[in-house]
Amino acid sequence: MSDTFALDNAVSVPLVLGPQGAIPTPVATLNQTLLTNAQSLAPGLTATLPGSLVEDMASTATGALVLIDQARVDAVNSVTPQGANAFVLAALGQQFGIPQGVPTNTSVYVVISGTAGYGITPGFIVSDGTYQYVVQDGGVIDTAGNTQQLFCVASQSGTWAVPAGSVTQIVSSVASGYSLTVTNPQAGTPAISAETVDSYRSRVLLAGQASATGTASFLKTLLYAVPGVQQQLVAVRQVTGGWEVICGGGDAYQVAGAIYTAVPNLSSIVGSTTTARNVSASIFVNPDTYNITFVNPPQQVVTVTATWNTTLTNFTGAAQVNQLAAPAIQSYVNSIYVGQPINLLDMTAVFQNAVASVLAVSNLTTLTFVVTINGTTTPPDAGTSIVVGDPESYFYVSPSGVTVVQG
């Protein structure tokens, strides 16, 4: 009876959260809450008489409540990477997918070979027969039948050598009908020392600040990391029905793998209405297959004729102007990102900067450009200085495609 009675009348103190976390309850509040609960059980109770047994018990109980309240505050404020104890920090790290020891455990780069399009997810395990290594970043087997080198970390601490060619066993299960092999082209890196709590705390903090998947910036970052992909040939366009990913260069399966990793809703990815530009690759991540389509940007061949003149009647540097301006214009056009227009104002600035050592801008009286795209003369859009091409294509001008003349 007494236990039930005590539980039903337990002291309840609200938890106050401020900008710095949980705030300790003032001692006076704890004492008053205790007395209020006691008086509800024994009406007329007086606990303010100095030296009385009731006052002594109330003071002792208030001290206990102070300790309990502080323990509660410490527990709440420890659920953060900055203040967590080692146990809570490890739990937070697991929640973020950051196991302790990754930067300091023995590591090795491996290449996994097999069927093109097979996806290797983070957490895939390989072995040298003695120790196991966990893939950290994942990847996709490309057209040639190999992944890029995948970074793996030992699942246990300790220091040992990992000779080249020693990691040859697949530990994780592989879908039926597929066969994978693994090797490490180079020797691994032995562990140096156990990871400190401070180092681990820093990594958990950074994990909470990582860029979220599903954003165009994150997708572009992964596409830029694919070998062979040219940064200026990458774009993510919002079109009717979803998003269109344009990517020039790189292995099709690795590009598709980057899209698979970055985009949570793959049904939002659509191809070009000009289907000949579309590239499709199937990514298999056991037990599912994902068909991913992206656009390989076509090339638009550009020619530029720049006509210039000067106020200097006896100017003898015309040949130098032509020699300096032509490669600068070529470089500008070829650096334009896919789908972006040629800006004649930018081209003017490029011309002026290129010839400044020979002809000052103040002496330049005429500068006009004629641009052709795929053999068709293309003027700027009305009221602007931009020459617009196909939104899914990129510009290319050869060294012989730029003509600079005085006239």
SS3 324: helix
pLDDT digits (tens, 9 = 90+) for 213-227: 678 888 998 898 888
pLDDT at 13 over 60: yes
Where among 295, 318, 348 does a domain terminate? 295
The candidate with the shortest Cα–Cα distance to 58, out of 28, 80, 87, is 28
End-to-end CA, the chain = 109
Distance, in Å, from the CA atom of 138 to the CA atom of 144, rounded to the nearest integer, reads 17
Q: Is residue 92 situated within a structural domain?
A: no
SS3 188: coil
Q: Is residue 268 situated within a structural domain?
A: yes
What angle do helix axes 53-77 and 27-41 make, rounded to 10 degrees?
A: 120
Q: Is residue 355 situated within a structural domain?
A: yes
Whole-Å CA distances, 70 to 27, 37, 406: 11, 20, 84
Burial profile 335-345: b = 16 or more Cβ within 10 angstroms, e = fewer: ebebbbbbbbe
Q: Is residue 88 situated within a structural domain?
A: no
What angle do helix axes 318-334 and 344-355 make, rounded to 10 degrees?
A: 140
Where among 251, 280, 295 does a domain terminate? 295
Domain span at 6: 2-77
Higher-scoring residue by pLDDT: 42, 112 = 112
Q: Which of 31-45, 235-249, 361-375 has the lowest mean pLDDT?
A: 31-45
If you average pLDDT over residues 136-151, what whole number do you get?
91
- Please give the pLDDT value at position 103: 65
pLDDT at 11 over 70: no
Among 53-67, 140-154, 208-222, the range with the most confident prediction by mean pLDDT is 140-154
The candidate with the shortest Cα–Cα distance to 331, out of 238, 396, 404, is 396
Asked if residue 225 lies in contact with residue 139, where contact means CB atoms within 8 angstroms, the answer is no
Q: Is residue 198 situated within a structural domain?
A: no
pLDDT at 2 over 60: no
pLDDT digits (tens, 9 = 90+) for 157-215: 888 999 999 999 999 999 999 999 999 999 988 876 667 777 778 777 766 665 566 78
- High-pLDDT (> 70) share of the chain, %: 92
Asked if residue 361 lies in contact with residue 352, where contact means CB atoms within 8 angstroms, the answer is yes
Provide the phi-psi class of 406: left if phi over 0, else alpha when psi is between -120 and 50, else beta: beta
SS3 125: strand
Where among 37, 57, 77 does a domain terminate? 77
Q: How confident is the model at residue 286 (pLDDT cuts 50, 70, 90)?
A: confident
pLDDT digits (tens, 9 = 90+) for 81-133: 677 777 778 887 877 777 776 667 888 989 999 999 999 998 899 999 999 99
Which two three-digit tokens encode residue 228?
Answer: 């062979």
Q: Which of 213-222, 242-251, 295-304, 317-326 has the lowest mean pLDDT?
A: 213-222
Q: Is residue 195 situated within a structural domain?
A: no
272 and 345 fall within a common domain: no
pLDDT at 304 over 90: yes
267 and 338 fall within a common domain: no
If you average pLDDT over residues 52-70, what whole number do you get?
85
Q: Is residue 203 situated within a structural domain?
A: no
The candidate with the shortest Cα–Cα distance to 162, out of 190, 192, 197, is 190
Cis peptide leading into 287, omega within 30 of 0? yes
265 and 308 fall within a common domain: no
- Please give the pLDDT value at position 101: 67
Which two three-digit tokens encode residue 222?
Answer: 């992964």
Asked if residue 38 lies in contact with residue 45, where contact means CB atoms within 8 angstroms, the answer is yes
If you average pLDDT over residues 341-360, what whole number do you get?
95
Distance, in Å, from the CA atom of 377 to the CA atom of 356, rounded to the nearest integer, reads 29
Higher-scoring residue by pLDDT: 39, 354 = 354
SS3 19: coil
How many independent structural domains does the chain possess? 4
303 and 402 fall within a common domain: yes
250 and 319 fall within a common domain: no
pLDDT at 6 over 60: no
Distance, in Å, from the CA atom of 100 to the CA atom of 203, rounded to the nearest integer, reads 9
255 and 308 fall within a common domain: no
Q: What distance lies between CA 339 and its chain's CA centroid?
A: 24
266 and 321 fall within a common domain: no
- Please give the pLDDT value at position 3: 39
291 and 306 fall within a common domain: no
319 and 389 fall within a common domain: yes
Q: Is residue 254 situated within a structural domain?
A: yes
